[in-house]
Amino acid sequence: MADYDVIVIGAGTGGLSVGAQLAKQGRKVLILEQSERIGGCCSTFEQQGFRFDLGASLIEATDLIDEVFQRLGTTLKDEVSLLPCDPVYTVIMKDGTRMKYPTSLEASAEEIRRLAPDEVSNWHRFCAAMKELSDNALSLFRSPMDTMTDFVRFFANAPGMLKYAPLFFCSYQDVLQHYFNDARVRESIAYQTLFIGLPPALCPGVFAMVAYGEHAGVYYSKGGMIGIPAALQRCGERFGMEVRLNTLVDKVLVRNGRAVGVKLADGTEVTAPVVVSDINAKTLYLNLIGEEHLPWLVRVGIKSYEYAMAVPMLYLGVDYTPPLESHHTLATLPTDRINRYWWETYEKGHYPTDQQFGIISWTSHSDPGLAPKGQHVIVLTLAPAPYRRSDGKSWDEVKPELTEQIIDYYSAHYIPGLRDHVKVATLATPVDFERNLRLPEGSIYALRQDITNETIFRPAAKSKSIAGLYLVGASTHPGGGVPTTIASGMIAADLIAKYE
Amino acid sequence: MRCKKQRHCGVWLLLLLVGLALVYQNLSEAQKRFIQNILRQVPYLPARYAV
C-alpha cells in the first residue's frame, strides 16, 4: 500500500495547480518543496519591512488561471485580490522617448499616433491579426502536446491556426517588421521577446500575440505575487492536499520502468503510484531518475536541451516616491541592439555594468501596503546574464560592486534620485536563483523556448520513458510563465485522470 | 533512360540548392541567425520527441 496516491516534486505554480486539481479528484496528494516558501519564481519575500516579488511581478491571461480555480470550485477573483495595472507599461527608449501602452487598444493607438501617426492603422492591423491568432491558439494552452497525434488534433480543432503556421518559422522581429515601419514603434513592443527568454531575432513570431494579449488586462496580486500560489495551496488543502516545505527530494524511485515514489535527502522513502515533477526536466531525468533508467534516445534528447536565460534581479526598498509612471516601466533598446547584446555580450559570457535595458517594477505603486508608509518597493529585472562569466570572477565576488553600479546607472538614466534614497538593496544573481530555487544555471524558463524546444519537442507532460511520471511547470508544454505553468497543471491533471 | 532521369533530378536539385543559397544570401543578419539557430538543433528533434 503506497503512502500517497500522488507525490508532486516542487510547489511552484505548476505543482500547486496539479496538486490541487488531483486532490479535488479525491486523490491523496503530497507536495514536497525544497525551499522555505511556495511559488517558485512567483513568490514574495520580506526584508526590513519591504515585500519583494522574487520573479514574476504581474499576471496576464487571467482567464486561463481562472479556469483552474473554477475546476477547484471557486474563482480567481474570489481567491486572489487582483489589482489592475493600467497602463500595461511605460516605455523609456534608448533615445529618451517615453510612451505608455494603456490597456485600451484605442488609447494605445493614440500613444502611437503621438510617436508615429502613420503607424496607427498598422497597430490596428497588427492587433486584429494577433486577436485572431490568440483566439485560435487558446486551446494550445489547455491541450497536451506530447505526440504527433496531439499536434494534428490541435490543428484539426483550430484550423484557423493554419493561416498563422508561418509565424512558427519566422522571428518576432520579422513580424514587427512586417507590420510596422517605424523603428521606435517596433522597439516599444519588442521587449516582450525577453518574457519568452529570447532576443527578437530568435523568438518565434507566433509569440507576437503576447504584445496583444497584455491588452486584455494585466494584474498584480495584492500583498505580493505569492498570493496566487497561496490561493492554489489553500484550495488544494480544502481537499486534503498536503504541502511540506524544506523537504528536498534526492531521487525518484523507479522499479521496472515505473515511478513508485521518491527518496528524500534525509534518506526517507515516500511511495506513490504517480509522481509529478515541477522541477527542471534535465535535473529530473539526469539527476533524480538517473541515466540508467532511460533509453539511449531519451538520454540524447534530454541532454540536447539548452537552459533558458538567467536574469539577475535587484530588489530595492526606497524612502521616497520614485519618479515613475506605472507598475511596469520597460527600459528598451532598438531590436538590433538587443540582438547584438545577446550575441556579442550575453553569449560570450560578458556582463556589462551599464544596464542599458530591463524592467522596472514599481509594485508598491499598485499596492502601497508592500512598503512602510511613504516608502516604496522597486524591483529591477536586469538584462539576461551569462551563468559563466568570461572574466573568471564568481557572481558572489562581483555582487556588492555590481549592485552599486546598477543603482548608479538606473539613478542616472531612468530613476532620478534613486541613489540617495536606497534603504535596502539585494541583488539575486543566476547563482542565487540556482542555489535558492534550484533552477539550474539560474534558468527562469527552464529550457529555451524556440520552436525546436516547443510543443511536441518539449519534454512530454506524460513521460514517454517512465510510467507513472508526469511533468508540469516551465519545462513542459506550454512553457514558462505564471499562466502557462498553471495551465500545465490542468493538462497533467487531465492526463492523470485518464491514465491512472 | 534511367541515367537521363537521374541527370534531370540532379539538375533540379542543384537549381533548388542554388536558389536556396541565393535567398539565404539576401537575408538580413537577424534572419540568418534565426535559421542557423533552428538548423543547429534540427538533428536533435527525433531525440527530443522521445523525451
Q: What is the pLDDT along chain A (500 residues), one digit of tens a residue?
A: 899 999 999 999 999 999 999 999 999 999 999 999 999 999 999 999 999 999 999 999 999 999 999 999 999 999 999 999 999 999 999 889 999 999 999 999 999 999 999 999 999 999 999 999 999 988 899 999 999 999 999 999 999 899 998 999 999 999 999 999 999 999 999 999 999 999 999 999 999 999 999 999 999 999 999 999 999 999 999 999 999 999 999 999 999 999 999 999 999 999 999 999 999 999 999 999 999 999 999 999 999 999 999 999 999 999 999 999 999 999 999 999 999 999 999 999 999 988 789 999 999 999 999 999 999 999 999 999 999 999 999 999 999 999 999 999 999 999 999 999 999 999 999 999 999 999 999 999 999 999 999 999 999 999 999 999 999 999 999 999 999 999 999 999 999 999 99
Q: Are the beta carbons of A276 and A472 closer than 8 angstroms?
A: yes
Instruction: Say how far apart CA A113 and CA A120 lie, in whole Å.
Output: 6
**Strand order of the sheet with strand A469-471?**
A242-244, A29-32, A6-9, A274-277, A469-471
DSSP E strand stretches across A93-195: 98-101
Nearest to B30 among A173, A300, A464 (CB): A173
Residues B22-41, mean pLDDT to the nearest whole number:
93
pLDDT at B8: 86
Instruction: Say how far apart CA A384 and CA A133 lie, in whole Å.
Output: 28
pLDDT at B3: 78
Nearest to B34 among A171, A302, A456 (CB): A171
With bands split at pLDDT 50, 70 and 90, how would you rate the model's confidence at B1? low
**Cα dihedral sign, A119-B30-A195-A331:** negative
Rg (CA), chain A: 22
CB contact under 8 A, A300 and B30: no
CB contact under 8 A, B44 and A200: no
pLDDT at A427: 98
- With beta carbons under 8 A apart, name residues in chain A contacting B48: 301, 304-305, 452-453, 457-458
Q: Which of A304, A340, A347 to mutate to test the interface with B (most CBs of B within 10 A)?
A: A304
Q: Are the beta carbons of A278 and A461 closer than 8 angstroms?
A: no
Report the residue of chain B nearest A461, measured CA to CA: B51
The three three-digit cell numbers of residue A439, written as one number: 533552477
The three three-digit cell numbers of residue A189, written as one number: 513592443
CA dist A84 to A215, A408, A496, Å? 11, 31, 35
- A470 to chain B, closest Cα gap in Å: 12
Return the number of other C-beta atoms located less than 10 Å from residue A18's C-beta: 35
pLDDT at A353: 85
What is residue A308's DSSP assignment?
A: P
The three three-digit cell numbers of residue A143, written as one number: 491541450
CB contact under 8 A, A171 and B30: yes
Asked if the ipTM is above 0.85, the reply is: yes
pLDDT at A354: 84
Is A286 within 8 Å of chain B by CB? no
Strand A422-428 with A376-381, pairing: unpaired
**Cα dihedral sign, A101-A91-A331-A124:** positive
- With beta carbons under 8 A apart, name residues in chain A contacting B36: none
CA dist A291 to A284, A294, A297, Å? 10, 5, 11
Q: Are the beta carbons of A235 and A228 closer than 8 angstroms?
A: no
Nearest to B33 among A202, A295, A456 (CB): A202
Is A150 within 8 Å of chain B by CB? no
Q: Which of A277, A325, A333, A281 is nearest to A307 (CA)?
A: A281
Taking the alpha carbons at both ends of chain B, their separation in whole angstroms is 47
**Strand order of the sheet with strand A249-255?**
A249-255, A258-264, A269-271
pLDDT at A174: 96
Report the residue of chain B nearest A202, measured CA to CA: B34
